[in-house]
Every structure is written in C-alpha cells, then in structure tokens.
Structure 1
Amino acid sequence: MLDRFVRPYIDPPLNRFGRTLAGAGATADGVTLVGFAVGILAAAVIAFGAPGWAILPLLASRVLDGLDGAVARATKTTDFGGYLDIWCDFVFYGAVPFAFALLDPANAMAAAFLLLSFYVNGASFLGYSIMAEKRGLSSTAQGVKSLFYSAGLLEGTETIVFFALLCILPQLFIPLAWIFGSLCLFTAVARVANARNLLT
C-alpha cells in the first residue's frame, strides 16, 4: 500500500548509487546475493538471541535489495536477475519468522501462522503476475519491476517496517505476528478478488 508513495523518494538516490556501483564493476546479481546473505545473517542474529542487533543487517539487506535493480537498470536487466531477486526475497521473508521460532519455542504457533500467511499471499502475488504477463499487462506504480507487481494492503514497505518492529519489540512477536498474518491473508483474498474481475 505504501510502496507507491515511498518510491519517488527512494528511487532517485538508489539509482544514483546503482550507477556508481555499476561503474565500479558491480553486477546486479552480485548485489542481490550480497543482500540475500546479509538478510540471512539478520535471521541468524535473531535466532541466536540478539534481535535488537538484527535490525542493522536486516535494513542493510533491504537497501541492497533495492540497489540490485538500480544496478541492473544502469547495466543490463535480465529475466534471471528478476527471478533470482524474487527467490531471495521469499527465502528472506520466510527466514525471519523461522528465526523467531528458533529464538523462543513459545513463538512457534504464531510463526507458523505468519509463514502460512506469507505462503498464501505469495501464491496470490506470483499467480497474478504470471497471468498479467500472459495478457501483456504492466505497471510501474511500485517502481520498475521485472514482473507484474500487483498492489495490495501489505507490500514491501509494510513488511520491512513490520520486521524492524519485531526486532525492536521481540517480546510482542506473538500478537504482532497474528495481526500481520491476518492482514496478509486479507491482502491475498483481495488480490484474488481483483484477479477474478480482471482475468475472467
């Protein structure tokens, strides 16, 4: 929901830095993999009992996740790069709830619900993207993407804020996970309803 409002502010500096990195020889896939590694490091820091410290690599990984596209636009975009980016994102999004389950077994039920909601929401997102691509649809409302990005109540910005909040307030993981997971399911249902109107 917030991505389209945040993008005009973050894209210009990301694009400038992306051009600088590309000029220094960085590749988009390399930036994607570094961002992925830093994101997994954040999950590991959570699992080993220091969620407050995890916010640093967590936010760094999300900056790198934005930079890979900027580097790609400054050099060459590829379908594999887009595929690798979305795969790394989904693994990262699953790793954080799993890390909180490892941190405290009392979190396991809420973490399982959160992972279920991510799975359902991700399926609605990717399925919609496939059908939109088949019909030649495109959108840049959430920035220039390698695949059709269907908007929803919860998008990347909200998820980053949510993960940061979990790191700051780990003692509230259970209620926050149930709330965010419920909103994810609502987003998925809304996306399916929208797809029915658009794709039938």
Structure 2
Amino acid sequence: MIDGIARRGLDPLLQATASLLARARVSANVITWIAFGTGLAAAAAIISGYFITAFLLILLSRLGDGLDGAVARINGKTDLGGYLDIVLDFVFYGAIPLAFILHDPAANAVPGAVLLFAFYANGASFLAFSIMAEKRKMSGEARGEKSFFFTTGLAEAGETLIAFSLACFMPQWFAVIAYIFAAMTIYTTISRIALAMRDLR
C-alpha cells in the first residue's frame, strides 16, 4: 500500500547508487545474493536475541532488494535475475517469523505459524496471478518495472518492513504484531483472488 509513495522518495537515491555499482561492474544477481545473506543474518540475530542488530540488517537487506532491480534496469534485466529476486525474497519473508518462533517458541509459535500461513497463501495468490497474467500478455507497472506482473495490495514490502521493524523494537509484542499483520496479509490475498475472478474470466 505504501510502496508507491516510498518508491517516489527512494528512487533517486537508488538510481544514483545503482549507477555507481553498475559502473563498478557489480551485477544485480550479486546484490540479490548479498541482500539475501544479510536477511538470513538478521534472522540469526533474532534467534540469538540481538534485535537491534537484526533491525539494522533487515534495513540493509531491503536496501539491497531495491538496488538489485535498479542495477538490472541499467545493465539489462534477465529471467534468472527476476527468478532469484522473487524466490529469495519469499525465503527472507519466511525466515524472519521463523526466527521469532525459534527465539521464543512458547510465546511465538502460534502467532508465528499464523503469519507464515498468511504469507504462504498470499504468495500463492500473487505468483499464480502473475503466471496467468503472463499467459494472457497482461502488463502492469504499478510498482515500477518488474520481471513479472505485479499485483498490489494492503500488505506489500513496505508494510512487511514496518511489521518486522516493530517486532525487532518490541519483541515482547511479536504475537500482537503477527496477528495484525497476518490479518492484513489475508485481506490482501482475498483482494487478489477477487481481482483474479474479475480479470481472468
């Protein structure tokens, strides 16, 4: 929901940084892998209870997630790059709730499982629509130029970053944050199913 607003503010910085990286011959795929590794390091920090460190690592990881696309637009997009970007993003999104579960299973197992279920359902609705949109040669750039059709929703990357950040600053409130964000994510899933029922008839 807030991704469109955030993009307008961040795009100039991302483009300037991406230009420097492209000139240094740093590939988009390398940035994707570094961002992914940083995200996994954030998950490890959460498991160990280093929540502020985890927050900083999450920010760096999401910065890398924005930079890889910006570099790809300069150097040229590839199918492999688009594939890695979405797959590793989904692994990251699952790793953070799992890390909170592993940090405190007694308090976080059920809300974490509910959030992971919501992510799973939302990911299926997102990717399945993208496949059908590609089959029908549909186009859309609501969140900028992507390697696949990108449907928007109430729970997107920006909202996920906010939820993860709040959980890092208030780990004792993880259950509440997880349930609220799971509800937002399920709403997004339902809205995507409704979109598919309208556009794919």
TM-score normalised to the size of structure 1? 0.98
Q: 1:153 is paired with a residue of what secondary structure?
A: coil
| Residues paired across the two proteins, number | 200
RMSD of the alignment, in Å? 0.8
Q: CA deviation at 1:4?
A: 1.4
One-letter amino acid of the structure 2 residue matched with residue 30 of structure 1: V
Percent identity among equivalent residues?
50
Superposition pairs for residues 42-61 of structure 1, below 5 Å? Answer: 42-61=42-61
Superposition pairs for residues 53-132 of structure 1, below 5 Å? Answer: 53-105=53-105, 106-132=107-133
Q: Which residue of 2 aligns with 1:197?
A: 198
Q: Which residue of 2 aligns with 1:8?
A: 8
Runs of 4 or more off by more than 2 Å in structure 1? none
One-letter amino acid of the structure 2 residue matched with residue 111 of structure 1: G
Q: Which residue of 2 aligns with 1:172?
A: 173
Q: Which residue of 2 aligns with 1:156?
A: 157
Distance, in Å, in 1 between the alignment partners of 2:41 and 2:83 is 22
Q: CA deviation at 1:52?
A: 2.2
Q: 2:120 is paired with a residue of what secondary structure?
A: helix
Q: 2:174 is paired with a residue of what secondary structure?
A: helix
Q: Unpaired runs of 5+ in structure 1?
A: none
One-letter amino acid of the structure 1 residue matched with residue 140 of structure 2: S
Within the alignment, does 1:144 sit opposite 2:145 as a pair?
Answer: yes
TM-score normalised to the size of structure 2? 0.97
Q: CA deviation at 1:135?
A: 1.1
Which range is displaced more, 4-13 or 182-191? 4-13
One-letter amino acid of the structure 1 residue matched with residue 190 of structure 2: V
Distance, in Å, in 2 between the alignment partners of 1:143 and 1:10 is 12
Deviations 1:81-135 (A, max 9, x none): 0000001100000000000001101200110110000000000000111111111
Q: 2:152 is paired with a residue of what secondary structure?
A: coil
